[in-house]
Structure 1
C-alpha cells in the first residue's frame, strides 16, 4: 500500500490580505437588512408616545413658570446655551402668544414628530425634530429638578 503525504500549504501574504480585504468589504459595504433599525424606530417612538400621553395632563405644572418650580428659579438655573421652553416663551411672548399655548404647541410638535417616526414618514426629519423637542423638554425638566432639590 502506498502512503499518502500531505503538504501543508500556507497562503502567501498577498492571498491572505486579499481574503481579509474581501471579508472586510463584504462586512462594511454589503447591503444589510433595514428591519432591525425599523424595529428600533417603531419601538422607541411607541415608548416615547406613551410617555408623552402620561406627561400631557401635568405638562403645565412641570414646564410653566407658575408650576412646581417658579419663574426666576426656573429661568436662572441650568446650563447656558441649552434650549429650554422658557426661551420659546420669551421669544413668542413678543407676538402675543401666552405660555400655556407655547407649552401645548411644543407638546403637539413632539407628538407629531413621534407619530411621523412611528409611521416612517420623513424619518430623518421626524427623528431630528423629535430629538430636539425631547432634548428641550429634558433640559427644562432637568432645570426644574435641580431647582427643586436645592430647596
Structure 2
C-alpha cells in the first residue's frame, strides 16, 4: 500500500468539487460553517472495523477523546469487503494509517443540534483522498485533491 490512497472513487473526475482548506479546530468549533462542503484538513486517523475517527491530535487519539474527533467512513469493513484475505488487508490498512497524522479530503457533514439522537459528532460523508504526513511534509501538499 503506497503512502497515499484514493478511496471510494466511484464517481468520475468530471464531477469533482473544489476543496477548501480548513483547520481541524475550526471543524470542531463551527461545524455548521462547513456543512456540505468539500474540505481538506489534517488530523490523526483511527481506523475501526465499523467506523473510525479523525482526531485533532495524537493525545486525543490515544485517549479516544471523542469530543476532539470527527467520524469518518474509512472503515476496515468497507475497504476489505471484497478481499479474499481480509485479515491481511485489515493489517495492511492499520499499518498504513492507524494512529498516523494524515491530510484528508472529503465531504463534511455537520451535526444538526436538534437531531443528535443517532450521532453526537459531525462526520465526513465521504473521503476522496488521504495521505500520511511525515514531519515538515504538510506544506507541500497544496490544493491538489478534489472531492468527488
Question: TM-score by structure 2 length?
Answer: 0.25
Which protein has greater RCO, CA pairs closer than 8 Å, 6+ apart? 2
Which of 1 and 2 has greater Rg?
Answer: 1
Question: TM-score by structure 1 length?
Answer: 0.25
Greater fraction of residues in strand: 2
Greater fraction of residues in helix: 1
